[in-house]
Structure 1
Amino acid sequence: MILDLLFPNRCIHCNCIIDSHFIICTICFEQIHFTHFEYSQENNLKEKCKLLFPIENAYALMQFGKENLSRKIIHELKYKSREKTGKVLADWVTERLDFKNDRPDLLVSVPLHPKKHKERGYNQLHLFTKNLSDFYNIPHDHNLIRRNHYSKAQALKDKKHRLETQNTFTLTKSISNQHILLIDDVFTTGNTLATIAWEILKESNNKVSVLVMAMDE
């Protein structure tokens, strides 16, 4: 209580004081570019994924523009130790996403390399994925995929280096006859998700869908 008075929670965009459970104020919330995609229907994200790997369904919560608020939200989550942002984003997803009759069997988030995890102190996708798992009552596995190489942040790479993901990921165990929902923060080139998807699709009768917090415009 005293800490709340001394260090009140503030909107990450306009800096006004807000409830401790929120990350932005109601006025700034109106500036977020939500996609309004339907998970089980054709959309821009699914079309982009189709060019890279066989995909069942795809969903992006927000558009990730160069100057928009969605970019600031993701950067707060990834680089400024605001892990609780993952829970807020999961709440926004659950208010909008209905799996209907095509529920995945397992939620799997893109992993960090152990060294990067130690540097950051958390994986920005773990709390997000866990909250989705709890809400939809779908199991999640943070350890199914292993990242084999340490690299600098995607945001600091040029496009050429972002495409160099060959042999970056492997499965830690055999899995078959599963519909996997791959979860990542931002879809840019799609190469990271494609690399993981093909590892999953090597196994017998697996299917892959994708959910991202945001996608590049």
Structure 2
Amino acid sequence: MLLDLLFPNRCLHCNRIIQGDQLVCELCFVQIHFTHWNFLDDNELKHKCTLLFPVQHAFALVHFEEEGLSRKIIHALKYSGREKAGLVIADWTADHVDFGTKKPDLLVTVPLHPKKLRKRGYNQLHLFTEKLSEQWQIPFDHELIHRNYNRKAQALQDKSHRKQTENLFSLTKPVQHRHILIIDDVFTTGNTMSAVAWEILKSGNNTVSVLVMALD
């Protein structure tokens, strides 16, 4: 209580004091560039994925503009120690996604390399995915995909030097005949997502869909 008085939670955009479980104030919320896509329809992200791997459906919650509020929110989650921001973003996502009759069987997160995980202290996708799992009543598995080696984050690389990854990920156990929703924070070149998707697809008669917080 005293900490709340001394260090009140503030809007990431305008610095106005807001409730402790919020990221932005109501006035700034309308400035978030949500995609408003339908999970089951064709969209820009699905087209990008289709060029890299077979995908059933794809959804991005927001656009990742260079100077936009969406970028501030994702960066707060990833680089400012605000792990619980994932819970707020999950609520926004659940409000925008309707699976219809195409509900996935399993939610899978893209893993961090253990070295990066130790440095950050958390995987920014975990609370996000666990909240969605609870709301959608779909099981999750944070351990299915193993990252075999570390590489510089794509968001920090010059686009001309981003390359297709090989053997970046592997499965920790066999999985077959499942519709798996792969979850990540930002879709940039799609190389990371593609590497995860192909590991799942080649495991045996699986299908994949994609959900990301933001499309760059």
For residue 175 of structure 1, give the secondary structure of its aligned residue in structure 2: coil
Deviation at residue 161 of structure 1 after TM alignment: 4.0
Q: How does 1:146-185 map to 2 (within 5 A)?
A: 146-185=146-185
Aligned-partner SS, 1:174: coil
Indicate whether 1:133 and 2:154 are aligned: no
CA contact (8 A) 2:155 2:188 kept: no
**Match runs of 1:49-60 below 5 Å:** 49-60=49-60
Are the aligned partners of 2:13 and 2:69 in contact in 1 as well (CA < 8 Å)? Answer: yes
Deviation at 1:165, TM superposition (A): 1.5
Q: Secondary structure at the match of 1:95?
A: helix
- Tell me, in whole angstroms, the C-alpha distance in 2 between the residues paired with 1:12 and 1:172: 38
Output one character per residue of 1:102-147: Cα deviation in whole Å (capped at 9) or x when no partner.
0000000100001100000000000000000010000000000011
> For residues 193 and 14 of structure 1, what CA distance do their matches in structure 2 show?
33
2:200 paired with 1:200: yes
Cα deviation for residue 203 of structure 1 reads 1.6
Offset of residue 164 of structure 1: 4.1
Q: Which residue of structure 2 lines up, in the alignment, with residue 27 of structure 1? A: 27
Matched with 2:191 is 191
Q: CA deviation at 1:153?
A: 2.7
Residue identity in the other structure for 2:192: T
Distance 1:152 1:189 in 2: 13
Q: Which stretches of structure 1, 4 residues or longer, exceed 3 Å deviation after superposition? A: none
The runs of 5 or more residues in structure 2 that have no matched partner are none
TM-score, normalising length from structure 1? 0.97
SS at match of 1:200: helix
RMSD: 0.9
Rounded to whole Å, the distance in 2 between the matches of 1:127 and 1:60 is 18
TM-score (norm 2): 0.98
Per-residue deviation, residues 126-182 of structure 1 (Å, max 9, x unmatched): 000000001000000000001111223332222244324111111111100000000
1:7-18 matches, within 5 Å, as 7-18=7-18
Equivalent-residue separation in structure 2 for 1:47 and 1:134 (angstroms): 29
Aligned partner letter, 1:71:
R
Corresponding residue number in structure 2 for 1:73:
73
In the alignment, which residue of structure 2 is the partner of 1:92? 92
CA distance in 2 between partners of 1:18 and 1:79 (Å):
21
SS at match of 2:140: coil
**CA contact under 8 A between 2:109 and 2:129: conserved in structure 1?**
yes
Distance verdict in 2 for CA 1:174–1:143, change over 3 Å: same
